[in-house]
Amino acid sequence: MTAAASLAAASLQQRLAAAESASGTRGRIRHSVCKWCYPKVSVEELAIAGKAMGLKSIELLGPGDWEMVRKHGLTCAITSNPVKEGLGGITKAFNRLEHHDTLVSAYEEWIPLAAKAGLKNVICFSGNRAGMDDATGLRNCAVGLKRLMGVCEKNRVTLVMELLNSRVDHADYMCDKSAWGVALCKEVGSESFKLLYDIYHMQIMEGDVIATIRKNHQYFAHYHTGGVPGRHEIDESQELNYPAILRAIAETGYKGFVAQEFIPARPDALGSLRQAIRLCDV
């Protein structure tokens, strides 16, 4: 390790140590976590432990778990997606016209359920290219999403499409660049449709994270974290400066949630989560 790298690592360790000793959170960032990253921890166990760390939400949950997090004084910042007849997941979704009737039916049932539970964001996906060009996929997505804007607006729920990388984790996924996602938001033309800006995924696809957030934050309803490379802890083992990124998010006036979505590599998975919350509590 070079002298500069050693100093950077030492500085991060000092920040982490200071964060670990702090009690509570500052309130500029509303902290959430994605349940799927903790398969050995139940929703209730994560709710109890997470609330003590400063979490306000456990997310990407379906209706069967919404009451459990509410019971512990938390919310589900963004729900999982409905799947009907094999459609609605990452690979097969809104970029094909022939999927729309099934997807619209599924989301027309799901969105009012979320609203009734007091939830504000529901996730969706573009689907894979499978030979389709991006311009056609964008037009097709807009056609289907526009059909849902009425039910979203009526229920005060935002439909949120996630930006994912197609280089490492989700080969051939269409909504893999922020510019494409922003163009789709403009085409849909409703405040009830926005993007989930996943910092991990977009660092892999395009970098320039802080500048992108500053330029396009009005189209971002939600944020996810993750260490690059590897999608593990957001510590000195990876290349992103998360405190700087979180400060940039806060400076845009963002009032939503930022969710930890890294896969813990250490034995103490909840310890890694606690450390990440403190690191992001700017």
pLDDT, tens digit (0-9, with 9 covering 90-100), for 215-262: 999 999 999 999 999 999 999 999 999 999 999 999 999 999 999 999
Report the pLDDT averaged over residues 175-183: 98
Q: What is the DSSP string of 182-220?
A: HHHHHHH--TTEEEEEEHHHHHHHT--HHHHHHHHGGGE
Q: What is the pLDDT, as a whole number, of residue 26?
A: 77
Contact assessment for residue 26 and residue 282, using Cβ atoms and an 8 Å cutoff: yes
Overall domain count for the chain: 1
pLDDT at 134 over 90: yes
Q: How far apart are CA 106 and CA 17, in angstroms?
A: 46
Rounded CA-CA distance 6/10 in Å is 6
Residue 31 host element (H or E) = strand 30-34
Instruction: Flag whether 19 is in a domain.
Output: no
Say yes or no to pLDDT of 103 above 50: yes
Q: Measured between alpha carbons, how far is 72 from 247 in angstroms, rounded to an integer?
A: 28
End-to-end C-alpha distance for the chain, whole angstroms = 28
Residue 17's pLDDT is 44
Say if residues 195 and 208 touch (Cβ distance below 8 Å). no
pLDDT digits (tens, 9 = 90+) for 5-53: 444 444 444 444 444 444 357 788 999 999 999 999 999 999 999 999 9
Domain assignment of residue 5, yes or no: no
Mean pLDDT of 200-229: 98
- 238 within domain boundaries: yes
pLDDT in tens, 139-175: 999 999 999 999 999 999 999 999 999 999 999 999 9
- Domain-embedded: residue 14: no
| Cβ(65)–Cβ(73) below 8 Å | no
153: which 2 tokens?
A: 């607006």
Mean confidence (pLDDT) of the chain: 93
The H-or-E segment that residue 32 falls in is strand 30-34
Confidence of residue 62 (pLDDT cuts 50, 70, 90): very high
According to DSSP, residue 84 is labeled B
CATH label of the domain that carries residue 139:
3.20.20.150
Supply angle C-alpha 197, 198, 203, rounded to 5.
110
Tokens 């309803």 belong to which residue? 221
pLDDT score recorded for residue 24: 59
224 belongs to a structural domain: yes
Region 120-148: mean pLDDT is 98
Calculate what percentage of the chain has a pLDDT beyond 90: 89
Query: Looking at the domain assignment, is residue 20 inside a domain?
Result: no
Is 8 among the domain residues? Answer: no
Give the Cα separation of 268 and 221 in Å (integer): 31
Parent domain of 257 = 27-280
Residue 2 resides in a domain:
no
Q: What are phi and psi of 32, to 5 degrees?
A: -135, 170
